Amino acid sequence: METSHSFVRRCGRMTASQKKALDTLWEKYGIVPEAQLALQTIFGRTAEKHLEIGFGMGDALIQMAKEHPEHDYVGVDVHSPGIGHLLIEIEKWQLTNVRVLNADAITILQDHLPTYCLDMVYIFFPDPWPKKRHHKRRLIQPQFLALLAQRLKPNGHVQLATDWENYAQHMLQTLDASAEFTNVAGQGQFIPRPESRPLTKFEKRGQKLGHGVWDLIYQKQE
Ligand SMILES: C[S@@+](CC[C@H](N)C(=O)[O-])C[C@H]1O[C@@H](n2cnc3c(N)ncnc32)[C@H](O)[C@@H]1O
Residues 155-184: tens digit of each pLDDT: 999 999 999 999 999 999 999 999 999 999
> Which pTM value belongs to this model?
0.96
- How would you classify the pairing of strands 181-183 and 214-220? antiparallel
For the chain, domains (ranges, CATH) are 46-220 (3.40.50.150)
Res 12 pLDDT > 80? no
Per-residue pLDDT at 34: 83
Q: Give DSSP secondary structure letters for 68-115.
A: -TTEEEEEEE--HHHHHHHHHHHHHHT-SSEEEEES-HHHIIIIIS-T
Confidence band for 8, pLDDT divided at 50, 70 and 90: confident
CA 185 to ligand 1 center in whole angstroms: 25
Per-residue pLDDT at 2: 44
In this structure, the residues whose C-beta lies within 6 A of any atom of ligand 1 are: 6-7, 53-56, 76-79, 82, 104-106, 124-127, 139, 200-203
What's the rounded mean pLDDT across residues 39-62? Answer: 97
- d(CA 79, CA 90) in angstroms, rounded, equals 17
Tens-place pLDDT, residues 118-151: 999 999 999 999 899 999 999 999 999 999 999 9
Backbone angles phi, psi at 30, to 5 degrees: -85, 150
Compute the residue count for the chain: 222
- Measure CA 159 to chain center: 9
Strand segments (E) across the chain: 48-53, 71-77, 98-102, 118-124, 152-162, 181-183, 214-220
Backbone angles phi, psi at 58, to 5 degrees: 90, 10
Per-residue pLDDT at 11: 64
Per-residue pLDDT at 5: 84
CB of 18 closer than 8 Å to CB of 89: no
Per-residue pLDDT at 9: 73
Instruction: Please give the order of strands across the beta sheet that includes 71-77.
Output: 98-102, 71-77, 48-53, 118-124, 152-162, 214-220, 181-183
- Give me the active site residues, please: 127
- Measure CA 203 to chain center: 14
Res 4 pLDDT > 80? no
Tens-place pLDDT, residues 13-49: 899 999 999 999 999 999 999 889 999 999 999 999 9
Res 109 pLDDT > 80? yes
**For ligand 1, atom 23: residue with the closest CA:** 54
**For ligand 1, atom 11: residue with the closest CA:** 54
CA 127 to ligand 1 center in whole angstroms: 6
Chain-wide mean pLDDT for the chain?
95
10 Cα nearest atom in ligand 1:
25
CA 33 to ligand 1 center in whole angstroms: 18
Q: Checking phi first, is residue 186 left (phi over 0); if not, alpha (psi -120 to 50) or beta?
A: left
